[in-house]
Amino acid sequence: MDFLTIEPEWEKALSQADLADLDKLLAFAGGDCLSYHLRGKTSRFTLPGGQVVFIKQDHFTKWKTTMRNLLRLRKPEPNTEKERRCLALAASFGITVPKVIAWGQRRRFGLPNQGVMVMLTIDGVALPDFLQKEKDADKRQEAIAQAEQTLKFMQENALDWKTDCKPEHFFVLTNGGIGLIDLERLRLRKKPLSAQTRKQQLARFRSLLPVLEEKG
In a domain, 215, yes or no: no
Let me know whether 95 and 146 are in one domain.
no
pLDDT in tens, the chain (216 residues): 799 999 999 999 999 999 999 999 999 999 999 988 878 899 999 999 999 999 999 987 775 676 676 667 677 688 899 999 999 999 999 999 999 999 999 988 777 789 999 999 999 999 999 999 999 999 999 999 999 999 999 999 999 999 999 999 999 999 989 999 999 999 999 999 999 999 999 999 999 999 876 655
Length of the chain: 216
Domains of the chain: total = 2
DSSP letters along the chain, please?
A: --EEEE-GGGHHHHHHTT--SHHHHHT---SEEEEEETTEEEEEEE-TTS-EEEEEEES---HHHHHHHHHTT-----HHHHHHHHHHHHHHTT-B-PPEEEEEEEEETTEEEEEEEEEEPPSEEEHHHHHHH---HHHHHHHHHHHHHHHHHHHHTTEE-GGG--GGGEEEETTS-EEE---TT-EE-SSPPPHHHHHHHHHHHHHTSPP-PPP-
Let me know whether 14 and 67 are in one domain.
yes
Residue 178 maps to which CATH number?
A: 1.10.510.10
Q: Which of 120, 137, 163 is the last residue of a domain?
A: 120
Let me know whether 12 and 82 are in one domain.
yes
Half-sphere exposure of 163 (CA within 13 A, CB side): 2
Which pLDDT score, from 0 to 100, does residue 70 have? 61
Give the domain range for residue 179. Answer: 124-207
- For residues 147 and 170, the answer to whether their CB atoms sit within 8 Å is yes
Let me know whether 115 and 95 are in one domain.
yes
Strand partners, 22: none
Let me know whether 110 and 168 are in one domain.
no
Which pLDDT score, from 0 to 100, does residue 71 have? 67
Let me know whether 75 and 173 are in one domain.
no
Let me know whether 34 and 141 are in one domain.
no
Residue percentage of the chain with pLDDT more than 70:
93
In a domain, 216, yes or no: no
Which pLDDT score, from 0 to 100, does residue 158 have? 98
In a domain, 183, yes or no: yes
Which pLDDT score, from 0 to 100, does residue 149 have? 98
Q: How far apart are CA 6 and CA 205, in angstroms?
A: 35
Strand partners, 6: 102
Let me know whether 159 and 174 are in one domain.
yes
